Amino acid sequence: MDHLSVRKNLLGHVRRVVVKLGSSVVTTENGLDRKMIRNLADDIHEMRKTGKEFIIVSSGAIAAGVRRLGLKEGARTIPQKQAAASIGQSRLMSAYDEAFGRYGIRVGQLLLTRDDLTHRQRYLNARNTLMTLLSWGVVPIINENDTVVVEEIKLGDNDNLSALVAVLASADLLITLTDIEGLMDCDPRVNSDACLIPVVENITPELKSLAGGTSSGVGRGGMSSKIEAASKAQMSGVPMIITKGKVEGAIAKTLSGEVCGTLIMPAKEKISARKSWIRYNLRPEGALRVDSGAAKALTHGGKSLLPIGIIDVEGSFDDGAAVDVIDQNDDKIAVGLVNYSSEEMKRIVGRQTAEIDWVLGYRRYDEAIHADNLVVL
């Protein structure tokens, strides 16, 4: 099938869409781009008539706050960014509220942090809120809660947030609206012959190296963070389109299958939503080094990790924590949730399952990491 038919075929089945807007799309040098936000609302209003549902992930809080305050040098320190976001976020929401309100469509705000997406119960709570909003016909508008996060605990950029939201919401498509056409085969800033890559099947190292740094200077994400987000979406089975945002009818054109932007195809063998959460939302708190037999059983046999296959335990973690699994070549081969804490694990490494009882005095589980909680990389 040629890439146009592939695109049309895939888009024919799309119902729930996450649309991500970068700061460079929702703002101009004078502040919020209300005209653009109205165009987006026009577009989404039309598309909703065809039964589609939309969730928006919008950047722009910091940029809008900075412009409102007239800070010539921008927000430099973290407290300044946080304070600018608190001013800009309410303005951002009022712009969306006004734009969608023209059609009687309500909007709802969700401000998330990494912790919300790491903590399983909070993650599910956020999902329940989203689902309820959608069932009421409301358009959820999501941003990172910039006022309370500092660099070390930040999700980083809204590209990554939008991919995690797409998985959280079981979306059929993620559309990333940005300030360039899509992924190009060379750097368009230095090469005027740069051509759009219409479809990406696999995110190769070459593709990653094609994606340079930030394209616009406003907002945090550049092409490389879009590729990182695309790989999360791809592995979790969500197709993604990266396209230019400041185009009238950008959403309708994208959904009609016209070639605008780059379509990143979902993986043929996707991982479940729960495994996607383990792999992409959690931060490993330690590592287990395993022998070659265990490495093979995990990567080729889809087996659980037993204490007998573990050689060494690194870091300090509680049971239930996420850890990396590392083979004897020092390669990270999996990530998973442990059934025992690091202290317990150190006592049972290399032991037969039956020995766990007498070493610890109890045996909560046979496995160090159960296959259901293990994601092979």
Q: If you ran DSSP here, which 8-state letter would residue 266 be given?
A: P
Find, among 15, 102, 111, 4, the residue nearest to 61 by Cα: 111
User: What string marks each residue from 152 to 191 as x (binds ligand GLU by CB under 6 A) or -?
Assistant: -----xx---------------------------------
Find, among 247, 278, 275, 277, the residue nearest to 261 by Cα: 247
Window 269-308: residues binding ligand GLU (CB under 6 A): none
Buried b (16+ CB within 10 A) or exposed e, 97-109: bebbeeeebebbb
How far apart (Å, rounded) are the C-alpha atoms in residues 184 and 198?
9
User: What string marks each residue from 30 to 59 as x (binds ligand GLU by CB under 6 A) or -?
Assistant: -----------------------------x
Note whether 61 binds ligand GLU by CB under 6 A: yes
Window 73-92: residues binding ligand GLU (CB under 6 A): 85
How far apart (Å, rounded) are the C-alpha atoms in residues 192 and 190?
7
Q: If you ran DSSP here, which 8-state letter would residue 280 be given?
A: I
For the bound state, the minimum distance from the C-beta of residue 79 to ligand GLU, rounded and expressed in Å, comes to: 15
Total residues at interface with ligand GLU (CB under 6 A): 16
* Residue 225 vs 304, nearer CB to ligand GLU: 225
For the bound state, the minimum distance from the C-beta of residue 315 to ligand GLU, rounded and expressed in Å, comes to: 30
User: What string marks each residue from 117 to 156 as x (binds ligand GLU by CB under 6 A) or -?
Assistant: --------------------------xx-x----------
- Which of 140, 182, 221, 307 binds ligand GLU (CB under 6 A)? It is 221
For the bound state, the minimum distance from the C-beta of residue 40 to ligand GLU, rounded and expressed in Å, comes to: 16
Contact between residue 171 and residue 16 where contact means Cβ atoms under 8 Å apart: yes
For the bound state, the minimum distance from the C-beta of residue 157 to ligand GLU, rounded and expressed in Å, comes to: 3
For the bound state, the minimum distance from the C-beta of residue 23 to ligand GLU, rounded and expressed in Å, comes to: 5
Note whether 62 binds ligand GLU by CB under 6 A: yes
* Residue 158 vs 231, nearer CB to ligand GLU: 158
How far apart (Å, rounded) are the C-alpha atoms in residues 339 and 353?
13
Find, among 234, 229, 223, the residue nearest to 265 by Cα: 234
How far apart (Å, rounded) are the C-alpha atoms in residues 318 and 162?
29
Please give the radius of gyration of the chain, using alpha carbons only, rounded to the nearest integer.
Answer: 23
Contact between residue 173 and residue 237 where contact means Cβ atoms under 8 Å apart: no
* Residue 231 vs 342, nearer CB to ligand GLU: 231
Neighbours of 137 (CB within 10 A): 11
* Residue 97 vs 144, nearer CB to ligand GLU: 144
For the bound state, the minimum distance from the C-beta of residue 53 to ligand GLU, rounded and expressed in Å, comes to: 23
How far apart (Å, rounded) are the C-alpha atoms in residues 183 and 261?
7
Note whether 336 binds ligand GLU by CB under 6 A: no
* Residue 55 vs 287, nearer CB to ligand GLU: 55
- Which of 67, 114, 220, 232 binds ligand GLU (CB under 6 A)? It is 220
How far apart (Å, rounded) are the C-alpha atoms in residues 22 and 218?
8
Contact between residue 180 and residue 247 where contact means Cβ atoms under 8 Å apart: no
Neighbours of 186 (CB within 10 A): 12
* Residue 221 vs 309, nearer CB to ligand GLU: 221
* Residue 88 vs 286, nearer CB to ligand GLU: 88
For the bound state, the minimum distance from the C-beta of residue 92 to ligand GLU, rounded and expressed in Å, comes to: 7
For the bound state, the minimum distance from the C-beta of residue 162 to ligand GLU, rounded and expressed in Å, comes to: 9
Degrees to nearest 5, angle at CA 283 with 312 and 291: 25
How far apart (Å, rounded) are the C-alpha atoms in residues 221 and 229?
10
Binding site for ligand GLU (CB under 6 A): 22-23, 59-63, 85, 143-144, 146, 157-158, 219-221
